[in-house]
Amino acid sequence: MFRWLAVSLLLIATGQVNALELNSRFTQGDIIIGTAIPGTQLVLDGKPVRVSPDGAFVFGFDRDAPTAAQLQITYPDGRRETRNLTIQTRRYDVQRIDGLPPKKVTPPKKVLERIGRESKQVAQARTQDFTTPYFLSGFRWPVQGRISGVYGSQRILNGEPRRPHYGVDVAAPVGTPVRAPADGVVTLTHPNMYFSGGTLILDHGHGLSSSFLHLQKIHAKEGQAVKQGDVIATVGATGRVTGAHLDWRMNWFKERVDPDRVGTSNALKCSFSSVKGCGRTDRITLRIINT
């Protein structure tokens, strides 16, 4: 059974006094999903946040988000309010490895052009802004298995910091079905990218997307609408990997958020207890009451 663990922000019209209830702090990597009064406008640190006609919205905080954010609220009657949000920092595992051959650290020049081209394809797919709030279907894990890698971890190779790991790795045999964690529309499929191998990106609306890496086979097609639980691909060991697993990543536009912040399962346990931030089990609620 998957538990809904998204951070929720609720704006409700109830009286004559503005009030703020904050039951817990926001954290780097959080995904905030909530409901506003229809007609409310939200702006987070200067970036407009899409609000659906029914009031649904989503936004997120990056791995290295600053400790403070500002949410500007314009209510349907035109009144405005600004809320300062505190974002708690996280500790991430950092692994240092020295003495590696240069070719193990820096890709060959002949593939740099390919890497750049593929990066642009991924970035374009993640800038989609579908108006339908598919994310309201809730989230489930796309595959079950041992958690072998977590969001935010980083390696320093020969003294050179590498890009952090922005996903959650789930070890599973090649051919294991990968299911859509939530409703959405497929915005990118690629059979074999240099780093990520078989790659699929699923847009959940309002800039929130899931990426699935190292796939063996991709069953869904670009532009296809899928429902939560639909088989969209199978687990593989493609791209730059050492074994079969699914790397599940999530973005809110360019912000790289933590998939573990939207759901967890008692059947999915971290494979090693030293991993920081693995197995989130709390829930955060921010309520702004407007009158």
Q: Percent of the chain scored above 90 by pLDDT?
A: 63
Query: What's the pLDDT score for residue 241?
Result: 87
- Which residue range(s) make up the domain with 247? 94-264
| Cβ-proximal residues to 93 (8 Å cutoff; 6+ apart), any chain | 150, 152, 153, 154, 274, 275, 276
Backbone φ and ψ for 199, nearest 5 degrees, come out as -130, 135
Query: Which positions of the chain have pLDDT values less than 70?
Result: 1-24, 103-105, 263-291
Q: Are residues 123 and 223 in the same domain?
A: yes
pLDDT score for 212: 98
Bridge-based pairing state of the strands 245-252 and 197-203: unpaired
The burial class, CB within 10 Å (0-12 / 13-18 / 19+), for 15 is: exposed
Q: Are 85 and 77 in contact, with CB atoms under 8 Å apart?
A: no
Contact 90, 167 (CB under 8 A): no
* 9, 128: one domain: no
Same structural domain, 116 and 236: yes
pLDDT of the residue at 287 = 45
Residue 196 included in any domain: yes
Residue 20 lies in a domain: yes
Q: Is 47 in the same domain as 162?
A: no
Same domain, 7 and 144: no
Quote the tokens at residue 6.
Answer: 């998204």
Residue 67, token pair as written in the block? 């400790």
Q: Is residue 191 part of a domain?
A: yes
CB 100 within 8 A of CB 108: no
Mark whether 162 and 43 lie in a shared domain.
Answer: no
Residue 77 CA to residue 28 CA, distance in Å, equals 33
For residue 139, the 8-state DSSP code is: -
State the average pLDDT for the chain.
82
Do residue 135 and residue 121 come from a single domain? yes
Longest dimension (CA), the chain: 67
Q: Are 121 and 190 in contact (CB under 8 A)?
A: yes
User: Are both 115 and 8 inside the same structural domain?
Assistant: no
- pLDDT, tens digit (0-9, with 9 covering 90-100), for 30-50: 998 888 888 999 999 999 999
Same-domain pairing of 56 and 150: no
- Looking at the fold, whether 62 and 153 belong to one and the same domain comes out as no
Residue 225: CATH number of its domain: 2.70.70.10
Residues 170, 116 share a domain = yes
Q: Which SS3 state, helix, strand or coil, does residue 290 take?
A: strand
- Dihedral in degrees, nearest 10, Cα atoms 155, 157, 159, 162: -50
| Number of domains composing the chain | 2
Give domain status of residue 34, yes or no: yes
Residue 274 lies in a domain: no
CATH number, domain of 30, equals: 2.60.40
* The predicted structure's pLDDT at residue 103: 65
Which three-class secondary structure state does DSSP give residue 134?
Answer: helix
What is the b/e burial string over 111-148, where b = at least 16 CB atoms within 10 angstroms of the residue's CB?
eeeeeeebeeebeebbebebebbbbbbbbbbbbebebb
Contact 184, 210 (CB under 8 A): yes
Taking a C-beta distance cutoff of 8 angstroms, is the pair 215, 176 a contact?
A: no
Number of Cβ within a 10 Å radius of residue 280: 18
Question: Same domain for 152 and 105?
Answer: yes
